[in-house]
């Protein structure tokens, strides 16, 4: 399974591709950051992010895209830019018919380090170990993108089984129950 992880951001959007399956050693295929100038207007920055993500999708041909789920932060301006970059990544994947998975930061940290409260340095260290790299990817946005891809590879089999079971349950009609003594 080849997964493109996207750590969304308006100034630095981390991207990383990991190939592998749960329970086996994983391989980093590529890692980087799509950058936009902070002084450019938001619409232009989103176009630059779109072009960058499209280039990664064209070059690496992932089967899945894992994007960090945006959560409420204190700085509304920051969260808006992150949400917009996240939407661009989802749009790029959807255009190609690629499944998109959203993972929360704590979910990714827990999957990669064993603790949902791990700091960026711990995530970088574990990504380095798990992918057998000489040094942690820099900046942290790049390491976070790889962590997203790793999280998805490890969680996808269980999530897929759960989704299939839920779909089957929706297709099966609920049994009709009657109370004793009533018709």
d(CA 144, CA 121): 10
Evaluate the omega torsion of the peptide bond into residue 139 and state whether it is cis, within 30 degrees of 0.
yes
Q: Do 10 and 85 meet the contact criterion of CB atoms below 8 Å apart?
A: yes
Distances (CA, A) of 45 to 3, 5, 31, 39, 67: 24, 20, 20, 9, 18
Annotated active-site positions, please? 7, 68, 141
DSSP state of 87: H
Residue 36 DSSP SS3 = coil
């Amino acid at each position: 399974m080849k997964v493109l992880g996207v750590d969304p951001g308006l100034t630095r959007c981390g991207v990383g591709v990991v190939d592998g399956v749960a329970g086996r050693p994983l391989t980093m295929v590529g890692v980087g950051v799509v950058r936009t100038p902070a002084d450019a207007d938001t619409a232009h920055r989103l176009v630059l992010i779109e072009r960058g993500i499209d280039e990664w999708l064209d070059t690496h041909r992932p089967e899945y895209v894992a994007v960090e789920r945006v959560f409420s932060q204190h700085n509304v301006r920051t969260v808006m830019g992150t949400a917009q970059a996240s939407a661009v990544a989802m749009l790029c994947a959807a255009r190609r018919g690629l499944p998109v998975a959203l993972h929360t930061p704590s979910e990714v940290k827990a999957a990669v380090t064993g603790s949902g409260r791990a700091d960026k340095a711990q995530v970088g260290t574990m990504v380095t170990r798990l992918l057998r790299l000489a040094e942690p990817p820099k900046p942290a946005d790049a390491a976070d993108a790889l962590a997203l891809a790793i999280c998805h590879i490890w969680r996808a089999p269980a999530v897929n089984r759960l989704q299939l079971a839920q779909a089957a349950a929706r297709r099966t009609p609920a049994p009709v129950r009657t109370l004793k003594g009533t018709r």
